[in-house]
């Protein structure tokens, strides 16, 4: 047995334990900043590692879950009647009556975001590679910035950040060229179910996905679902399962988001490149500072410059103005809402606004909280993150992740 096969088997047989460890370590990462020297690097490194491992685990587990579990249960028994089985007066096996209590799917319906992202991953190998690489960079970018700043200084840090932003911009524009639709964030399917809560025996321990068996020849004509009284309303039973229909009976994934038109492309291009433009403006402003100034290339010093901050906010507002409007798609409305949250995060956590308004307010509130028993722990936790936002470019984007 190869090491990969052994690892897959170990994961499938100890799923609950693995997810408990992941959840516990993820919670620890929020408590580490400010607790000891290099705690920020340890916390972010652990967070990045957990993110990558969780994504890898999701891919393994998704390939071992039968698609039929998200469909409504079949109204007939999936196996022939055993002659030795006990039956009731109507001829229905007693075991079937027990199974008949399940009238809803075992798994929730896939979200529109998952359906859309999965469609493009299956259709385009370039999209699949670009989206996975973009997600991976999102986990590693802050760790890379921390290491480059601590090992080589601020000048090298900004060159590394510039390279990261060039790669991210290229990947986003590649996805935009392929889909011709708004770039969702994240652009890969996300975990939507708790795998550890699945009934035992659902996940196959083999490394290959469970085969889908056709039951058209083996299904006897014996009802499995509970009998429904005549003239009873079916709304409560049928409506929740509308989205659980097979993919071929649902709206096509491309219909979830309309293709971009004219100026709407400009909006997506701005969103894709605003991080790169911001870095270039910060690096440009560093050349105008006095060389004798204390830490002229640090982010705290560069954040005092108004030009990079105002230029970034103007570009984001222009993108917001040009983006698709009056869309009836829930997916687009969620996407626009998340973009608005990122706009607020960038407006209040960067530049002069952060140094002159947001930071003093946060520091004042946390200082007052520290005087209250127990609640003071929250104030200490908040203060532990302030140096991160002061010193690292990607920490601001962590709160409004792109």
Instruction: Give the pLDDT confidence of 171-189 residue by residue, as tens digits.
Output: 999 999 999 999 998 899 8
The reported pLDDT for the residue numbered 130 is 96
The reported pLDDT for the residue numbered 201 is 61
Average pLDDT, stretch 190-205? 67
| Contact call for residues 293 and 302 (beta carbons, < 8 A) | no
Q: Per-residue pLDDT for 64 more than 50?
A: yes
% pLDDT > 90, the chain: 31
* pTM for this model (two decimals): 0.80
Instruction: Give the pLDDT confidence of 5-55 residue by residue, as tens digits.
Output: 888 888 877 777 888 888 888 777 777 765 666 777 888 888 888 889 888
The reported pLDDT for the residue numbered 106 is 67
Instruction: Give the pLDDT confidence of 69-107 residue by residue, as tens digits.
Output: 666 655 444 444 444 444 444 444 444 444 444 555 667
The reported pLDDT for the residue numbered 98 is 40
The reported pLDDT for the residue numbered 216 is 39
The reported pLDDT for the residue numbered 198 is 67
Instruction: Give the pLDDT confidence of 324-371 residue by residue, as tens digits.
Output: 887 778 889 989 998 999 899 889 989 999 999 999 999 999 888 888
The reported pLDDT for the residue numbered 132 is 94
The reported pLDDT for the residue numbered 4 is 83
Confidence of residue 108 (pLDDT cuts 50, 70, 90): confident
The reported pLDDT for the residue numbered 8 is 80
Q: Per-residue pLDDT for 207 more than 50?
A: no
């Amino acid at each position: 047995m190869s090491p990969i096969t052994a690892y897959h088997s170990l994961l499938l047989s100890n799923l609950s334990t693995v997810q408990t460890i992941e959840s516990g370590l993820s919670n620890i990462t929020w408590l580490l900043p400010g607790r000891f020297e290099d705690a920020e690097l340890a916390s972010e490194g652990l967070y990045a590692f957990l993110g990558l491992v969780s994504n890898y685990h999701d891919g393994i587990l998704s390939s071992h879950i039968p698609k039929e579990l998200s469909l409504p249960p079949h109204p007939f028994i999936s196996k022939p009647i055993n002659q030795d089985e006990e039956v009731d007066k109507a001829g229905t096996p007693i075991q079937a009556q027990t199974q008949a209590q399940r009238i809803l799917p075992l798994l929730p319906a896939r979200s529109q975001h998952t359906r859309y992202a999965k469609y493009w991953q299956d259709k385009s190998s370039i999209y699949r590679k670009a989206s996975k690489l973009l997600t991976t960079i999102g986990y590693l970018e802050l760790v890379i910035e921390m290491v480059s700043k601590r090992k080589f200084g601020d000048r090298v840090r900004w060159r590394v950040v510039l390279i990261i932003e060039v790669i991210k911009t290229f990947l986003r524009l590649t996805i935009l060229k392929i889909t011709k639709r708004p770039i969702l964030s994240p652009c890969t399917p996300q975990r939507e179910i708790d795998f550890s809560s699945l009934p035992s025996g659902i996940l196959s321990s083999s490394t290959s996905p469970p085969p889908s068996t056709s039951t058209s020849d083996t299904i006897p004509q014996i009802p499995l679902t509970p009998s429904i009284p005549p003239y009873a309303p079916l709304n409560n039973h049928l409506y929740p399962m509308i989205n659980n229909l097979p993919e071929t009976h649902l709206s096509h994934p491309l219909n979830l988001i309309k293709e971009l038109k004219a100026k709407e492309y400009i909006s997506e291009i701005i969103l894709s490149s605003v991080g790169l433009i911001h870095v270039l403006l910060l690096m440009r402003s560093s050349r105008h500072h006095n060389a004798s100034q204390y830490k002229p290339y640090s982010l705290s010093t560069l954040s005092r410059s108004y030009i990079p901050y105002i230029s970034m906010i103007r570009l984001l507002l222009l993108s917001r103005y040009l983006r698709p409007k009056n869309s009836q798609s829930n997916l687009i409305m969620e996407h626009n809402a998340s973009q608005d949250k990122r706009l607020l995060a960038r407006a209040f956590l960067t530049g002069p606004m952060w140094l002159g308004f947001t930071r003093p307010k946060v520091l004042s509130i946390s200082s007052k909280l520290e005087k209250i028993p127990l609640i003071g722990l929250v104030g200490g936790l908040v203060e532990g993150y302030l140096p991160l936002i002061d010193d690292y470019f990607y920490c601001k984007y962590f709160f409004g992740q792109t």
